[in-house]
Amino acid sequence: MKRIVLLRHGESQWNRENRFTGWTDVDLSDRGRTEATEAGELLRNEGFRFGKAYTSYLKRAVKTLDLVLGALDQDWIEVAKSWRLNEKHYGALQGLNKRETAEKYGEERVYEWRRSYDVAPEPLAANDPRNPRFDLRYKGIPEAELPLTESLSQTVKRTLPYWQCEILPELVRCDALLVVAHGNSLRGIVKHLKGISDDAIAELNLPTAMPYVFEFDEGLNCVGDYFLGDPGKVAAAMAAVAAQGRK
């Protein structure tokens, strides 16, 4: 049996402040660092030995991975980073408080921006300093591929090829892989793996730093999935994520 563990980064400073983050490079909070270490300890206690790890270009995911590998005493394994694992780009919403945005635009509209498959927030202006084209880390990426906003469907469009062409084939060589990324880039992967419909994906909320294990047979077919840890704690954390966009 081969396994891939999907892990959303630990709580960030803007998660703590209930802000839309997207591609803004926000650091982990103290709680987020603790969550990441605890996730690594949980994986260690379950006997996970990873052949390779993957993460995004954003420090909240990169630092989560570092803390997880440290707790596992597997700092030495190969790590690949890709912008294609970045969070969904929230456009002009980035930096805004989710509760205050819900008070202004209504919970239904904010729910669409956060969880629907096809609705994207208003884009950044081309000259907005938050435009990824002004960020050195994206210098080698064609400007046409860099988003100014994204729906989940657009996030899936950039994430899934990396999953299919780079991550999944690595299971031929390794028995276990670790992917540390973001709520929406991981939701897109989960949607693909579990065959979740465009409508039903709105109800999937991934908690921070709780390992989500997918099992594969030798033909790389997904045959099972489960969260590590206490089911009640996982359910409560999912409910807390779902509540972030309410008034």
- Could you tell me which residues come within 8 angstroms of residue 228 by beta carbon, excluding any fewer than 6 positions away? 42, 43, 46, 210, 211, 212, 213
Give percent of the chain above pLDDT 90.
88
Q: How confident is the model at residue 247 (pLDDT cuts 50, 70, 90)?
A: low
Helix (H) or strand (E) holding 4: strand 2-8
Helix (H) or strand (E) holding 179: strand 176-181
pLDDT at 132 over 90: yes
216 DSSP 8-state letter: E
Residues noted as catalytic: 9, 87
pLDDT in tens, 17-29: 999 999 999 999 9
For residues 192-218, give the mean pLDDT: 95
Closest CA to 202 of 149, 245, 163, 168: 245
- Could you tell me which residues come within 8 angstroms of residue 85 by beta carbon, excluding any fewer than 6 positions away? 54, 55, 56, 57, 61, 159, 162, 179, 181, 182, 185
pLDDT at 124 over 90: yes
Alpha helices, H only, 29-151: 30-45, 59-72, 98-105, 107-115
pLDDT in tens, 110-122: 989 988 899 999 9
135 DSSP 8-state letter: S
pLDDT in tens, 161-195: 999 999 999 999 999 999 999 999 999 999 999 99
Q: How confident is the model at residue 212 (pLDDT cuts 50, 70, 90)?
A: very high
pLDDT score, position 55 = 98
pLDDT in tens, 50-92: 999 999 999 999 999 999 999 999 999 999 999 999 999 999 9
State how far the Cα of 136 lies from the Cα of 139, in Å rounded to an integer.
5
